[in-house]
Structure 1
Amino acid sequence: MSTSGTGRRGAPSAPRLVADRRSGGTSSKQPARSRGTGSGGSGSGSGSGRPPRRSRRTSTPRPRPRGPLGWIAAFFRLIGRIVWGLVWRGTVAVMVLLGAATAYYYAQLPDLAAVVDARYRGSVTMLDRDGNVFAWRGDQFGGAIDPDTVSPHLVNAIVATEDRRFYRHLGVSPRGILGAIRINLSEGRGPLEGHGGSTITQQVAKLMCLGVPYDPEAWESEADYEQDCRRTTLWRKIQEVPFALAMELRYSKDEILSVYMNRAFLGAGARGFEAAAQRYFGISSADLNPQQAAMLAGLLVAPSYYAPTRNLERAQRRAATVLRLMEEQGYLTAAEAAAAQANPATLSDAARQDRGGAFADWIMASGPDFLTRETTEDVIIRTTFDPAMQAAAEAAVAEVFETQVRAGSAAQAAIIVMSADGAVRAMVGGRDTEGTGLFNRATQAMRQTGSSFKPFVYAAALDLGWRFDDLVLDAPLTINIPGSGPWSPENYTGEFYGEVTLTEALRQSLNTAAVRLSEEVGRDAVRTVAAQFGIESDLAAGPALALGASESTLIEMTGAYAGILNGGSAVMPYGVQELRILGDSAPLFEQRSGIQERVISEQAARQLTYMMSVAVARGTGQRAQLPDRPVAGKTGTTNSQRDAWFIGFTADYVAGVWMGYDDNTPLSGVTGGGLPAEIWRQTMQRIHEDIPPRPLPMIDPALEGRPVPQVVEYGPGAGAGVGGEPPPRGTLLGPAPDEADQILMRVLNGLLGRN
């Protein structure tokens, strides 16, 4: 029995009702057309009443080109598949490596407290004699700060100028990096030279040197280490990415900003925004107004260049740019920005003073390394520095060079001012110099001393029993020097003056008399006196010792003259009165005087002071006279006028002045009694304006029990090298000792073994 066409067992089935497929424009009521032919079967033919299924339409693939075009297309399809395979596989590999590197750095990152202040050196803050700050050295650090403890203007200024998307990115900004590369290339630089496109997080990574600690054995200095950490290379930029990502995972945004605010270098030795706020404005970072915050944030791009202590106007222009950025990004209203632009930030009085750089450098160089140059502590040093005296010395140099030296001269000058006990009050290390760490001519320049050395010849003689009014012969002299032959000193005037007193010989700065006296008392005695007074440099062994052929520094010479002023005791020039660690109440070191052992007797020092006062009153140092008080001093001019000196003192202070060229070019028409004496006079006149005059600690020749001959005068108030015509050889002007006195003096000299 066939089952075809039946709906159920034993009964024929009716045709199935199937709704027509809807197609556009065809009614569903129209009868379906039979698509099949034939009868019976279970196919899609007629007899079932079921319309056949439509087969799914498929597109016919285009035939691929054959021949050369096909080969080329196949080749490019192959290259595409290879590139795509490499790209996605490379991307996966990079992501794996990036993840591994990020995990590695994440594990290495320390706690926040350990990275806020990671200085390897401490700071040195210097106070003047009155306790006011005048200089900073080392890495200043004002203490840990965070975004919640500082002025909101500071946070806004930093974000506005350094990383406007700081709170939105994950530590790296590809857009910023590509933009920086584009700018660098457009400006003719390499892609990584100039703008870095770094986020604040990446800058912190650089400040942390990507986690590489400072190793004193691996680096010559901390400066070299930090310079290498700041170096931008492709490999360094690649390393910054996982380190920055690790920081974003390890620290919050505010914690990353805290590290940045505490560790960023901001010029003038200030590390961190708290130290910079104190350094430049004398206030806490919590009290910064918009213009001050903008100036500090503007330093980040180039701290030393934009430091307001170096160029305030330039720093203000940079701050104006930051204020515009703050306004554009909505941190300031137009009115607030306009008010800040109209009232730019200015320096505090202490920062504006900017004096004593040479003095501060000397303190750092002469103090113990572990408490100055290599200190790991924050040190406070109270010094002997006097800002008013420093201003007087600087003003004197500036005025003399402006009014009495030809424009464009490269001549240099240095000044030291100190008390009789060796306390250094002011120091000018040179002219037209800026910054720190420069060559200090007051303490570092070794120069021939010339006739400024002669007082030590007379000091040796006086200490051995000679008197200020003893006679010495000023006449032609020839000394045979082994290995060099005969040597004959001459006076500045080319004349000789016969027998003259020691006072007269020093007043006129007579060379032959000084050499003869040195040979008489012994060169060893002269060297001993000079060395004990503090001249530590090698002293000449030959007879030219008496004429200042040896070299010394200005601070040594000035300190030696201070020994004459204080009555004959040596002094050690000093600048530190007290040194303590920040936070400690008890000082580690104190000094109240630099006076050391006695070198010559007080009577000898008093006689020498009198002789040197005559040299200023009527001799080669007349230009150094002060109108209201006595002055003692000595000029010095070396061969070919390469060095010119004047060192002298009042009853209160001693000062030394040196002039010359760094390359030993001879001075033109300058002697120690000229411009150096003028600089000395102007300096000391300013210093003594409010100091009552006092007499010098010297003898009164009228009370010394022997008639004192009047000194030789060259002309109206002039001395050797100053002007006037010299008198006939050996003559004395004014009352002279009678014949019996002269015979007596010669007999006494003969008994003492003197010529």
Structure 2
Amino acid sequence: MRRIIPTRWKKKIQNVLLDIDARIDSTLFSSAKGLRELYERYSTFMDRFYVGRWKRWVIVEPLSEAATLGLGGLILMLALAIPAFRETADDDWLKKSDLAVSFLDRYGNPIGSRGIKHNDSIPLEDFPDVLIKATLATEDRRFYDHFGIDIPGTARALVTNAQAGGVRQGGSSITQQLAKNLFLNNERTIERKVKEAFLAVWLETRLTKNEILKLYLDRAYLGGGTFGVDGAAHFYFNKSARDVNLAEAAMLSGLFKAPTKYAPHINLPAARARANVVLDNLVDAGFMTEGQVFGARRNPAFAVDRRDENSPNYYLDYAFEEMRKLVDTFPKSYTERVFVVRTTIDMNLQRAAENAVENQLRQFGRDYHATQAATVVADLDGGVRALVGGRDYGASQFNRATDAYRQPGSSFKPYVYATALLNGYKPTSIVVDGPVCIGNWCPQNYGHSYSGSVTLTQAITRSINVVPVKLSIALGGKTPNPAKAGRKKIVEVARRFGLTAPLPDTPSLPIGSDEVTVLEHAVAYATFPNRGKAVTPHAVLEVRTGTGDLVWRWDRDGAQPRQAIPASVAADMAEMMSHVVSEGTARRAIIEGIPTAGKTGTTNAYRDAWFVGYTGNFTCAVWYGNDDYSPTNRMTGGSLPAQTWHDIMVAAHQGVEVKEVPGIGMGQKLPPSARVAAATAAGAPKIIDTKPGPPPVLTRRGADILVRIEKQLDEAAKSAAKTSAAEPPKPARSSSIAGPESFAAATPGDKAAPAGRKN
């Protein structure tokens, strides 16, 4: 029995498995047979459409390949189009830049305007026919025929440029240029051109041709801080765009290509030559005859002389950008686009700042090989009183005060010392100025010498490089990487002050190798006289609609001051930084009777020279350098920057009640001679109150030789006097050999000692 039962179950299991196997085989066979029959039916059906011989290779195969390539092209175009269409994600894209802002100074006087009026501007049909024809003939003759991209025009431009070996003719249509103005920037990259093409096609599907042309005429930048042909007509010709004649229309149309280059108030001959090219285009396009343009050739347009008008264009650009960001915070339901904005600017101080920069560059710029400068003056609540973004707005609209990131050099060190004071150090704390290395990087002081034990006050006064680096290591404590941990603390403190620049972590960060902007650097220093409260830089005080309704006000709606460091630390820092001015590297910044503190900065190879300082009323930063980062001729922060700062701040305090600086009080009101004696008695090199002159060219040895020669001449003169009984002894002559910062002073009996590079 025991053997029979297992045998029966075994047979049953085998039968079940055989049954399953049979069913699977049958299903597979039936399926294969069905698929084969289906394929045969499909083949029989498709044989009806078979094309052979020449028809296959001439018709079928090309169509098949075209379909394959077309599908791949569509996928590629979709991948390229997605980034472009992201630019249109804002539903308010048409009005995003559609602002018309009239700016007033802090006292309510008009100073300029920015932006454009789309809804309220001149209708397209009111523009002169010659202006529209001149624009189309020069910018896009096939505007009404293409779909947003002028393929023949682009091909023609490519051929012309290839033959010329450079860019001689543009291939962008008016729609593409409008897409760039609305959504993109001016960078010359393939990515931007691809986005521009897709956005042009997108605009053609959303707007009519006349709407596109109208927007283009209204929103193109045409130089002189103007946008749109109507604004340019008022600026250049003192008339509405409705009233321009053919010569003026040709000059306006010529500005679309390069408004800075052809602006008539800057280069009238170039503007007239460009207008003549526009007249040629009108004839070539068949819009006008040679006889019709003959009068405009003989009588070219005259632009209004704007040389005496000095609008604060850099400031207006900054204020307009701030206003655009501010409008984005308004409720979406708010549709007003015309505003009157009262700003923080003081036009008298603005003129003084511009004149100070221009005077220094005109006198000493060539000697120092410096071509550009920027400065920002702000009150202690962050309101920008004056802003100079470059030497000449007409030559370059790039705002070096707000958009240029430059190394601050030693002017960054106050953030390091403030961090040290926050972590238990005192102004009298001793740090050894001696060799130190972080990895393979070993910072050096100017002159490759060390001072031994110095206090923090002495270190910042003499702008010693090693001490901030040692402080950054000490601030890291006992962490595995103390230098890195210390630099992290320094960056955190700098952020509290208001610096938003990237500030990457590098070993040389404590001595100012990371880049900042002049605007943020200037306002961050306001934390010291503000008893440790950091403020936000701003240009807008009050925003009203065109009808006078109040929309926004800084004291009610703006960012409030925030406590960045304790008031005691701010006072200690002010006291330390006052020594930089009174007896350190920034003596040219001294203003008699006004408490002053600050810090100079000079970067490697003398590429950047800074002075950032403050009083109890204002804070100010001054930068000198070159746009191409080329070195200056030994310019330091204590030369032109400190002198420029002095000239600006003297003007800023005219008629103003001088306030004390916490930690300094009202300062010491010493006459120049007493101040010099006090500094000398304290062990500092002798100083001479002189304006900055050309950079020093003598070496220390050369200065010593000249002093010895002069002493020998004096001794010879004395000997000659003694031999002549009829003549009294001649008094010894005194002399000085001094440069802006390299030499302190040299008189008979004293050796001319280089003060060293003052950072």
Same fold judged by TM-score > 0.5?
A: yes
- Displacement of 1:459 in angstroms is 1.9
Equivalent residue, structure 2, for 1:99: none
Please give the alpha-carbon distance, in whole angstroms, between the structure 1 residues aligned to 2:238 and 2:343: 20
Contact 1:620 1:722 in 2 (8 A): no
Q: Which of 355, 374, 383 in structure 2 is aligned with 1:414?
A: 374
Look up the SS of the partner of 1:368 in the other structure.
Answer: helix
Matches within 5 A, 1:282-297: 295=248
- Indicate conservation of the 8 Å contact 2:238/2:304, yes or no: no
Given the alignment of the two structures, is residue 137 of structure 1 paired with residue 97 of structure 2, yes or no?
A: no
- Answering whether residue 590 of structure 2 is matched by residue 625 of structure 1, we say yes
Instruction: Render the CA deviation track for 1:240-266: whole Å, top value 9, x for unaligned.
Output: xxxx9xx9xxxxxxx99x989986968
Q: Secondary structure at the match of 1:685?
A: helix
Whether the 8 Å contact between 2:235 and 2:304 is mirrored in structure 1 is no
Q: Determine the C-alpha separation between the residues in 2 that align with 1:575 and 1:221.
A: 34
Change (3 A) 1:722 1:714: farther
Answering whether residue 515 of structure 2 is matched by residue 551 of structure 1, we say yes
Match in the other structure for 1:393? 353
How far apart are residue 528 of structure 1 and its match?
Answer: 2.8
* Equivalent residue number for residue 669 of structure 1: 634
1:715 pairs with one of 677, 685, 701: 685
Partner of 1:492: 446
Structure 1 residue 621: Cα displacement: 0.5
Give the match's secondary structure for 1:434: coil
Cα 1:528/1:682, change in 2 over 3 Å: same
Structure 1: tracts of 5 or more residues without a match: 1-117, 164-170, 173-189, 196-205, 230-235, 237-243, 248-254, 323-327, 727-755
Matched, 1:587 2:551: yes
Q: d(CA) in 1 for partners of 2:417 and 2:130?
A: 67
Quote the offset at 1:466 in angstroms: 4.5
Match of 1:648 among 613, 634, 642: 613
Equivalent residue for 2:571? 606
List aligned pairs for 1:219-258, cutoff 5 A: 224=196
Q: 1:421–1:594: 8 Å Cα contact kept in structure 2?
A: no
**Partner Cα separation in structure 1 for residue 591 and residue 651 of structure 2:** 10
> Which whole-Å deviations, capped at 9, do the CAs of 1:208-235 have from their partners, x for residues lacking one?
99x99x9989x96999579979xxxxxx
Q: Which of these residues, 332, 340, 346, is aligned with residue 304 of structure 2? A: 346
Query: 1:647 Cα shift?
Result: 0.5
- The answer on whether the counterparts of 2:608 and 2:625 sit within 8 Å (CA) in structure 1 is yes
Alignment match, 2:390: 430
Q: Is the 8 A contact 1:718 1:724 kept in 2?
A: yes
1:92 aligns with none
- Matched letter for residue 513 of structure 2: A
Do the aligned partners of 1:568 and 1:605 also contact (CA within 8 Å) in 2? yes
Structure 2 CA distance for aligned equivalents of residues 660 and 260 of structure 1:
39
- Cα deviations by residue, 1:8-39 (Å, 9 ceiling, x for unpaired): xxxxxxxxxxxxxxxxxxxxxxxxxxxxxxxx
**2-structure distance, mates of 1:652, 1:280:** 39
Rate the CA distance shift 1:367–1:476 in 2: closer, same or farther, 3 A.
same
Letter in 2 for 1:717: I
How far 1:449 sits from its partner (Å)?
Answer: 2.4
Aligned match for 1:506, one of 460, 464, 485: 460
The range that moved more, 639-648 or 684-693, is 684-693
Structure 2 equivalent of residue 460 of structure 1 = 419
SS of alignment partner, residue 444 of structure 1: coil
Counterpart of 1:616 in structure 2 is 581
Which residue of 2 is the match for residue 450 of structure 1? Answer: 409
For these two proteins, the number of residue pairs brought into alignment is 537
Q: Is the 8 A contact 1:413 1:660 kept in 2?
A: yes
SS class of match (2:387): strand
> Can you give the 5+ residue segments of structure 2 that lack an aligned partner in the other structure?
1-93, 137-143, 146-162, 185-190, 279-289, 477-485, 669-677, 690-739, 747-759
1:477 corresponds to 2:434? yes
* Partner Cα separation in structure 2 for residue 701 and residue 408 of structure 1: 35
Q: Deviations over 1:156-176 (max 9, x none)?
A: 98699999xxxxxxx99xxxx
Residue deviations 1:372-412 (CA, integer Å, cap 9, x gap)? 9x999634344333443333333222222221122794643
Contact 2:680 2:686 in 1 (8 A): no
Letter in structure 2 aligned against 1:609: A
Structure 1 counterpart SS, 2:366: coil
Q: Quick one: which amino acid aligns to residue 596 of structure 1?
A: P
Letter in structure 1 aligned against 2:121: G
Pick closer, same or farther for the CA change 1:307–1:587 going to 2, 3 Å.
farther
1:127 aligns to 2:127 (yes or no): no
User: Could you tell me how far 1:127 is from its partner in structure 2?
Assistant: 0.9
Query: What residue number does 1:57 align with?
Result: none
Mark the CA change 1:282 to 1:560 in structure 2 (over 3 Å): closer, same or farther.
same
Query: What does the per-residue CA deviation read over 1:574-621, in whole Å, with 9 as the maximum and x for residues that have no partner?
Result: 223344565572425746665532112223212322222221121100
Report 1:291-330 matches (<5 A). 295=248, 298-302=251-255, 305=259, 307-311=263-267
**Structure 1 position 567 matched with structure 2 position 531:** yes
TM-score, normalised with respect to structure 2: 0.55
Q: Quick one: distance in 2 between partners of 1:225 and 1:377?
A: 31
| Matched residue type, 2:521 | M
The answer to whether the 8 A contact 2:413-2:510 is kept is: yes
Conserved 8 A contact 1:475-1:498 = yes
Task: State, as a whole percentage, how many aligned pairs show the same letter.
Answer: 30
Any idea what the Cα deviations from partners look like across 1:353-373, whole Å, max 9, x if unmatched? 34323651574278439749x
- Structure number with the higher helix fraction is 2
Letter in 2 for 1:459: A
The answer on whether the counterparts of 2:416 and 2:510 sit within 8 Å (CA) in structure 1 is yes
User: In structure 2, do the counterparts of structure 1 residues 627 and 562 end up closer, same or farther at CA, with 3 Å as the change threshold?
Assistant: same
1:462-493 per-residue CA deviation (whole Å, 9 max, x = no partner) reads: 3455444x2x4354434453xx15x6544334
CA contact (8 A) 1:298 1:318 kept: yes
1:369-388 maps to which residues of 2 (within 5 A)? 371=328, 378-380=337-339, 381-388=341-348
Partner residue of 1:741? Answer: none
CA distance in structure 1 between the aligned counterparts of 2:561 and 2:300, rounded to whole angstroms: 58
CA offset at residue 661 of structure 1?
3.6
1:641 partner letter: Y
In 1, Cα distance between the equivalents of 2:215 and 2:250? 11
Task: Give the secondary-structure state (helix, strand or coil) at the position aligned to 2:561.
Answer: strand
SS at match of 1:127: strand
Cα distance in 1 for partners of 2:217, 2:501 equals 46
Q: 1:452 offset after TM fit, Å? A: 0.9
Name the SS for the 2:623 alignment partner. strand
Paired with 1:275 and 1:702, the residues of 2 have a C-alpha distance of: 51
Q: What is the aligned partner in structure 2 of residue 682 from structure 1?
A: 647
Q: Distance in 1 between matches of 2:130 and 2:401?
A: 43
Give how far 1:511 is off: 2.9
Which secondary structure state, in structure 2, belongs to the residue aligned with residue 418 of structure 1? strand
Q: Report if aligned partners of 1:264, 1:272 keep a CA contact under 8 Å in 2.
A: yes
| Partner-residue secondary structure (3-state), 1:551 | coil
Distance change in 2, residues 1:298/1:377 (3 Å)? farther
Please give the secondary structure, in 2, of the residue aligned with 1:353.
Answer: coil
Q: Tell me the SS of whatever aligns to 2:458.
A: helix
Larger Rg: 1
Provide closer, same or farther for how the CA distance between residues 428 and 224 of structure 1 changes in structure 2, counting only shifts above 3 A.
farther
- Give the distance between the partners of 2:444 and 2:372, measured in 1 at CA: 28
Query: In the alignment, is the contact (CA less than 8 A) between 2:229 and 2:252 conserved in 1?
Result: no
* CA-atom RMSD in angstroms: 5.9
Question: d(CA) in 2 for partners of 1:384 and 1:539?
Answer: 29
In structure 2, the residue matched to 1:50 is: none
